Amino acid sequence: MNDRILLAHGSGSKLSHDLIEKILAPPINNPILSRMDDSAVFELSGKLAFTTDSYVVNPIFFPGGNIGRLAVCGTVNDLSMSGAQPLYLSLALIIEEGLEIEELRKIIESVRQTAEEAGVQIVTGDTKVVNRGKADRLFINTAGIGVIATGLDISGSMAREGDKIILSGGIGEHGMAVMSQREGLQFRLPVVSDCAPLNKLVAEMLAVSNNIHSLRDPTRGGLASTLSEFARQSGVGISIEEDKIPIHDGVRGACELLGLDPLYIANEGKLVAAVAPDDAEKVLSVMRKNMYGGQAATIGEVTGERKGRVVLKTRIGSSRILDMPTGEILPRIC
Amino acid sequence: MRFIDEFRDVGLAQKLAQKITGISHKPARLMEFCGGHTVAIMRNGIRQLLPPNIEMLSGPGCPVCVTANRDIDKSIALASLPDVTITTFGDMLKVPGSYSNLQKARAEGGDIRIVYSTQDALQIARGNPQQSVIFIGIGFETTAPTIAAAVIQAEKENLKNFFVLCQLKMTPPAMKAILDLGEVDLNGIICPGHVSAIIGTRSYEAYARDYGIACVVAGFEPVDILQAIEMLVIQIENKNPQVEIAYTRGVKPEGNPRALELMHSVFDVAGASWRGIGDIPNSGFKLKEKYARFDADEEFEVELPPVKEAPGCRCGEVLRGIIQPPECKLFRKLCLPENPIGPCMVSSEGTCAAYYQYGDLDE
Amino acid sequence: MCLAVPVKIISIEGEQAEVDIGGVGRKVSITLTPEARVGDYVLLHTGYAINVLNEEEAQETLNLLERMVEAGESGD
């Protein structure tokens, strides 16, 4: 077996089959995938959720995870945020010629561990290899299907006046973990990416309340974007208290250093929920018992004023508009 | 976090605001010269805590906003040369030149990399001997010594492929230009904190003496800014303009002699052109003859397209504190953070961007 | 116009120093502040310490403000 991916690995040749049969399929195999037909075949009934996402994170290995774990978590979380129980995932790889096979092995092992942790199966996949320089080492796309329990209708457009806004933990950890590895910016961060599958956390929340109106994982654009989306989609105002927002000192320190606002930094293992006021305490306490919700906190509420906007109450008692980010989040010197 | 959290103390900030409201009666038009102060004031909603007779204006203190179109066009032209790698602070990526910006130049194939420090730019030069690595040297007297240190390091290592496109600016000449233009009747200036850490406070004394302007050097946390405003108000109420330092933990009257010495050993003072203000003599830096081999202006020949200013853009007046962003008819309509017309909307520290992002509630 | 943050010097090696803020670490230059010592807090701007922070001045400022606002409250 070569130690690097060659163009031939993507050409449907013997090498391609070896790559799939010896490296890619074994760790994640299951009865559906093992049939190796052109598409996965399975039966499902009830209301379904279906989603897809692509992953181009650079670098592909970062403190707290890698592109493989990220690709499973992203799709598992997107399904969970619509109240679905994630079941089946697809996994498509676009590999740059020259990627070490040992690195691919580590990434597939990470896909396996994360899928197992989330209790989902990779049932179909594809592999393509492109010339050196045409992709940045590895791109991954995953799509996923899940089943939504009857009567459940969770959406960014369902937040209602009086709902409490609950955040499941500290913000900005993934974005800063990746940025700390970037060329020209290296710094040592005492916190790692929060990349994690949240389907079990959501299931535990749904078990104690059926008044969770909105759920979303604040990935790119951070907490500020998700809150702005809720306010706009639901046509409500949202008021947030700055000093209630959990944030790790390391993320705060790195953001001070680079002149960034942590409210706009990506998360990959956090969720924001709009919950009816009477259920807020119940939901909060069950979240805190889950390993991914230990720092969960109520950070604000849905209001009737300033519809479509998010207002942040600052520590010193004044308030300001919290808007969507515009363009790439760049470190600044002034 | 030491030296940050103590100066974000809620009780202290609120009591300071109440104290200011109690003692401030006369009209007080205060300019915060530095973009960092503009963001801190907006981000902490400080204007809402102040009485109506105090008006806050933003000045030209954001190195990105004052970079002239011609200098942006030059950076873009250099980026398109073969075997050239541009290294720049993140702030410069989105600033519009006459026709494009560095972000678009990167999308068109330019090798443009963001760095946090000139040390990272040197590292990239060491790692890519076949590339000419040009560092876009923007900033005021705080950043100038760090660029000077990099040039000296490059000389020590005899780095053949490291260059600086020097677009550095000086603070006092710009402050004086604003006062001389006399377009704004200012009562006080919140003087820049970190520039003063380098240059000290002597150059501000002329503003208090000759223009009767209250001057206080401020830090960047809410308590720092409110303390500086309180000191300015006391000077204004007592008609006693002078230069005071609120940010005593970070600024000494004589500044940082070592940094000044290093800066002046590498740069000569030269004329500079400021976007929105125009050419100001002796308001910028140029690499000394001794370091000409590191000077991108000497090393690279690029012809530049004719300079074009965006029609209807009133950034110049915003930078000079004459108008507030909402008075510009492009603001929030054509000129948006995702489609910036002028520089003040681009930099996260630009007045219009800070206004748009953290704008007061009553808009 | 120039973002600078207070960081603590953890170790020094020649003109380079290891600094920390909230647990975040980075190697920076102390070329502009040769007087800086381990344990000092410095103002860090674009990878260079530009000034050693004066801890007594900081404490004095806070005491002054506390006294002033208390004086204000007691109506004098």
Q: Which of B314, B309, B308, B310 is nearest to B344 (CA)?
A: B314
Task: For residue A269, give the DSSP letter.
Answer: S
Q: Which of B189, B193, B171 is nearest to B249 (CA)?
A: B193
Query: What tokens does A186 get?
Result: 């290296």
Is residue B269 within 8 Å of B285, Cβ to Cβ? yes
- How far does the CA of residue A64 sit from the closest CA of chain C (Å)? 16
Average pLDDT over residues A241-246: 97
- How far does the CA of residue B183 sit from the closest CA of chain C (Å)? 22
Nearest to A253 among C3, C23, C45 (CB): C23
The residues, ordered by sequence, that sit 6+ positions from B31 with a Cβ below 8 Å of its Cβ are B56, B57, B58, B59, B178, B184, B186, B188, B189, B190, B321
Average pLDDT over residues C40-68: 95
Nearest to C46 among B118, B193, B198 (CB): B118
Average pLDDT over residues B251-273: 97
pLDDT band at A304 (very low <50, low <70, confident <90, very high): very high
- ipTM higher than 0.90? yes
Return the pLDDT at B363. Answer: 43
Q: What is the mean pLDDT of chain B?
A: 93
Is residue A276 within 8 Å of A282, Cβ to Cβ? no
Q: State yes or no: pLDDT of A321 exceeds 70.
A: yes
Does B275 or C5 have the greater pLDDT score? C5
Average pLDDT over residues C16-44: 97
Return the pLDDT at B65. Answer: 84
Residue A218: alpha-carbon gap to chain centroid = 8
Taking CB atoms and an 8 Å limit, are A253 and C22 in contact across chains? yes
Is residue B309 within 8 Å of B87, Cβ to Cβ? no
Is residue A269 within 8 Å of A205, Cβ to Cβ? no
Query: What tokens does A147 get?
Result: 């089943």
Return the pLDDT at B95. Answer: 86
Residues of A in contact with C21 (CB under 8 A): 253, 256-257
Half-sphere exposure of A152 (CA within 13 A, CB side): 25
- How far does the CA of residue B259 sit from the closest CA of chain A (Å)? 18
Average pLDDT over residues B22-29: 96
Q: Which of C3, B347, B111, B315 is nearest to A326 (CA)?
A: B347
SS3 assignment, position C43: strand
Return the pLDDT at B360. Answer: 54
Average pLDDT over residues B341-348: 80
Average pLDDT over residues A140-146: 98
Specify burial of residue B83 (Cβ count, 10 A radius: 0-12, 13-18, 19+): exposed
Nearest residue in C to B116, CA atom: C46
Is residue A129 within 8 Å of A5, Cβ to Cβ? yes
Average pLDDT over residues A188-210: 97
Residues of B in contact with A332 (CB under 8 A): 89-91, 347-349
Half-sphere exposure of A44 (CA within 13 A, CB side): 18
Give the chains touching A; criterion: ≥3 Cβ pairs < 8 Å: B, C
pLDDT band at B203 (very low <50, low <70, confident <90, very high): very high
Q: Hey, is the C-beta of B89 within 8 angstroms of any chain C C-beta? A: yes
pLDDT band at B275 (very low <50, low <70, confident <90, very high): confident
Of all residues in chain B, the percent with pLDDT exceeding 90 is 76
Q: Where are the alpha helices (DSSP H) in B165-324?
A: 171-181, 193-199, 205-211, 222-237, 257-266, 296-299, 315-319
Taking CB atoms and an 8 Å limit, are C44 and A189 in contact across chains? no
What's the rounded Cα separation, in Å, for the pair A232 and A159?
A: 10
Nearest to B44 among A183, A253, A316 (CB): A316
Average pLDDT over residues B249-257: 97
Is residue B142 within 8 Å of B197, Cβ to Cβ? yes
Nearest to A318 among B49, B116, B338 (CB): B49
- How far does the CA of residue C13 sit from the closest CA of chain B (Å)? 16
Element (H, E) at B63: none
Return the pLDDT at B320. Answer: 86
Give per-residue pLDDT as tens, B314-324: 988 888 888 98
Q: Hey, is the C-beta of A320 within 8 angstroms of any chain B C-beta? A: yes
Return the pLDDT at A1. Answer: 60
Task: Compute how many other C-beta atoms are within 10 angstroms of the C-beta atom of residue B163.
Answer: 27
What's the rounded Cα separation, in Å, for the pair A225 and A194?
A: 18
- How far does the CA of residue B303 sit from the closest CA of chain C (Å)? 30
Return the pLDDT at B183. Answer: 80
Q: Which of A114, A173, A172, A165 is nearest to A284 (CA)?
A: A165
Give per-residue pLDDT as tens, B106-157: 999 999 999 999 999 999 999 999 999 999 999 999 999 999 999 999 999 9
Query: What tokens does B199 get?
Result: 């240059």
Return the pLDDT at B362. Answer: 46
Helix H, strand E, coil C: the string for A151-166 is: CCCCCCCCCCCCCEEE
Specify burial of residue A27 (Cβ count, 10 A radius: 0-12, 13-18, 19+): middle
